[in-house]
A and B are shown apart, each in its own frame.
Chain A
């Protein structure tokens, strides 16, 4: 049950009528000053390390800046260089979209399907299975285990097994062969992707009003698919939207896993992403203006996709 926020609007209070607008505004501010004080510590840090950096990044993207000299305004040339003459960036962009288009929807649907099946289990099994599926995403940086599994010599688990049963004769260089790198990174990314969104789905499924389902049965819901589309999905739309934000942001941010598995830079840039490109220019070449342009492009891609998907999800079951 959600209770309505307590309104402290200007209309409720009896101010003398002659007071100017700005005076009522300041009265309102001082009346609510405790709230601003409570929010201040968080908001100062949030402004300093999230809001202002986005603005700085946008500003710097129109400049040449190498950390030593003062930034010099160069207009759109960072962007034109990025899109017209940077071949590596187009590879990075293509890879990032590949990752996002595959891992985004798959991980989102996987989050939902697993949550849906897990929700059918008895409470103890449910708690255990939730742990099994959620554990990889919080087990820190254990994904280097996959390095051993996909190791390029015959001691690698995958090679060892495939050679033992005779599918391959020679070990495959999973992390050095351009053919496989992207696939391997996608698999590990998917393994790590059942995070906060997954938990939100399980929790959301558990809170669906049982009487809705019963009412649906009376209204002629015939099978579980109809129940899913007409009752379950619409009742957990807020969680679906939250999960989408989590999965989309994650899907576009592939970098650490790519670096850990495929190296930096990866063979022939096969696992190079927009974020690793950003790291390249930001932390190695110190072309901060150019790196800021990459960051701004990344920001636009992430927020833009999120906004579009939010719009689409509002239509689910409606």
Chain B
């Protein structure tokens, strides 16, 4: 136990920590790690539980006889419903993919001039973006609805996708990351005769790939988990998360099916994070708000 505990930690030669402190830190991290992970582990287990294990007293954490019944039930249930499951999945994918890719493109295009040039309004624009990080979207919910209805976007996917394209966090992180592209690279491209758009597309964009993934990991879960809010009321435009809500409201008999949908909803963003983790960390190193 002792040696394995010590191996987990990086060896720090400068300031040696006593064994007790190391051990306490390990226990501390393990305890809170369990608090963070258990609900998710439980969600995974639930999706594979047969109905009799879902309602057992005292409740059991881990699944005994794993089964795929919940997933088959889900397909059967949704096969009979008015709007097929594939429709909800398509809607969610459509919103998430257009919203995420569009956000990365638009935020990068706006971040490049802000990161690399000083021109009239550049400082003020960036201050407004930082200011908008300081309040949540709830503040603008009511006027947003009015703007949407004025644009005639109520009950369209555009009402979810378009505002998400300009979330301030993405522009902020992208700008901070772009600042470290060497100016010499841009100057060289300019001497070669490239215009600003060309420079942005062929020089800047390939250099900020880690930041694309970071914007993706921040944007994707938000859109993936959207239930359409107040903007979408047609059943065939609703999202998967909305369908999950409906299934769970079906009551106790739907608990297993609900767990299956929940697993699907949760596994996708987590997998994306696992894939993109190292790039994300690279970008976040530049995330600071400077004086």
Contacts and interface: CB of A to CB of B under 8 A. Distances in A.
Interface of A: 1-9, 25, 28-29, 32, 34-36, 38-39, 41-43, 45-46, 48-54, 56-57, 60, 110, 114, 117-118, 120-122, 125, 127, 129-146, 148-149, 154-157, 160-161, 163-164, 191, 194, 196, 199-200, 202-204, 206-207, 213-214, 217, 223-224, 227, 236-242, 245-246, 248-250, 252-253, 255, 275, 278-279, 282-283, 288, 291-292, 295-296, 298-299, 302-303, 306-307, 310, 314
A4 B107 CA distance: 21
Contact of B146 (A56, A132, A224, A246): A56
B169 interface: yes
A45 B162 contact: yes
A145 B42 contact: yes
A52 B138 contact: no
A245 B133 contact: yes
A57 B32 contact: no
Given A42-B109, A242-B287, A275 B25 contact: no
Secondary structure at the A interface, as helix, strand, loop or mixed, is helix
Secondary structure at the B interface, as helix, strand, loop or mixed, is helix
A29 B120 contact: yes
Interface in B260-284: 262, 265-266, 269-270, 273-274, 277-278, 280-284
A157 B59 contact: yes
A149 B9 CA distance: 33
Contacts of B253: none
B52 to A, nearest CB: 13
B162 A49 contact: yes
B55 to A, nearest CB: 6
25 contacts: A25-B120, A34-B195, A38-B200, A43-B125, A49-B144, A51-B132, A57-B139, A57-B140, A114-B32, A122-B7, A141-B225, A142-B266, A149-B39, A160-B58, A160-B59, A196-B218, A199-B284, A202-B284, A223-B15, A238-B287, A249-B133, A295-B138, A295-B140, A295-B142, A303-B134
Nearest to B272: A138
Contact of B37 (A122, A132, A248): A132
B50 interface: no
Given A117-B28, A145-B39, A306-B134, 8 more contacts: A35-B196, A46-B168, A144-B262, A156-B59, A160-B57, A217-B14, A295-B140, A314-B291
A224 B15 contact: yes
A39 B120 contact: no
